[in-house]
Amino acid sequence: MSIEIQKNIPLSKHTTFKIGGQAKFFCVIGNINEIQGALEYAKENKLAVFVLGGGSNILVLDKGFDGLVIKIQDTRCEIQTSDKIFVGTGLSLAKVVSESVKNNLTGLEWVAGIPGTVGGAICNNTGAHGKSMEDIVEEMEVIELFNYDKGIWVVKKLINQECNFSYRSSVFKKEKKYIVLSAILKLKKGDEAESRKIVAEYLKIRREKQPLEYPSAGSVFKNPKIEDLVLKKIFIEYPELEKIVKDNIVPVGWFIEMLGLKGKKIGGAMISEKHGNFIVNTGDAKAEDVIILISLIKQKVRDRFGVQLHEEIEYVGF
């Protein structure tokens, strides 16, 4: 086996939250042969597997991950046709935006400023500004893990319609039986200068509205879609909310601001004063601090508004 298996690697160094214990085993891979080698190692040693991209959108338990973490660093990026890009799933979102703009392709500008990799964005169906990955993913190459502990896995291709994309989710996040290797993104012919203007505007919005000065995992909760009856009750007390609700979806940050929770701190973790749907690491936060804040927010929103929140971030090692 050509890959290097490392031991007891701090995952805090591999996540945007800068939180989390050690991975008992850890390897960095760049191609399909190395992934298969890593899976074989996990099978032989009866290890649980977690596939890591850019480390955004996750919270790692303080005690770490008692298995094998596979970090994908396949950063291939090739312009295939006048409107398609082939990408390895270890490619950063920043790089794929840059390459698309440089080649006069439009459709990825909304990704500007989002941390992480293409693979993570596909699995989470990452979105912003009314758009998401499901709008541009045409086809993916994946490893399907039928029963990896018995060495049963196959490489296959999936088209968009087979990915069961939904709000901040996909078949890859729900079923955990695939590893995404590469993807073909379908864009449109554009103008580099115009795209750069759009990217600059989106980056400006992020700087103004998000706490980029602190480590975080991005948005903590999904914006809930609320039943008509519950929403009408909320409108009675907060009629101004109607101006920002679309299709019964309420921004989580609004609930948190109304509850006066911005700036609430537990240990080294704090609910951002700039954006209520961000929990930030002020320097020495533990996963436990974040979990307590998440539980507090969910309880307060449920008790006050009758709305159950659901996490967007993924827990690792829990």
- Tell which residue, 15, 2, 102, has the closest CA to residue 60: 15
* Per-residue DSSP letter, 275: -
Q: Among this protein's residues, is 166 annotated catalytic?
A: no
Catalytic one of 34, 109, 134, 312: 312
Q: Are 110 and 208 in contact (CB under 8 A)?
A: no
CA angle 88–93–96, rounded 5-degree value: 65
Q: Among this protein's residues, is 170 annotated catalytic?
A: no
The token pair at 278 is 């961000």
Catalytic one of 12, 100, 170, 219: 219
CA distance 145 to 238: 48
Residue type, 42: A
- Residue pointed to by tokens 């996963």: 287
Q: Are 114 and 108 in contact (CB under 8 A)?
A: no
Q: What are the residues facing 69 on neighbouring strands?
A: 26, 50
| H or E element that contains 38 | helix 32-44
Q: Are 47 and 26 in contact (CB under 8 A)?
A: no
Q: Are 221 and 309 in contact (CB under 8 A)?
A: yes
Distances (CA, A) of 159 to 29, 140, 287: 24, 6, 36
Q: What's the length of the chain?
A: 318
Q: Are 251 and 223 in contact (CB under 8 A)?
A: yes
Catalytic one of 168, 170, 182, 272: 168
Q: Among this protein's residues, is 219 annotated catalytic?
A: yes
Q: Are 80 and 138 in contact (CB under 8 A)?
A: no
Instruction: Please list the active-site residues.
Output: 168, 219, 312
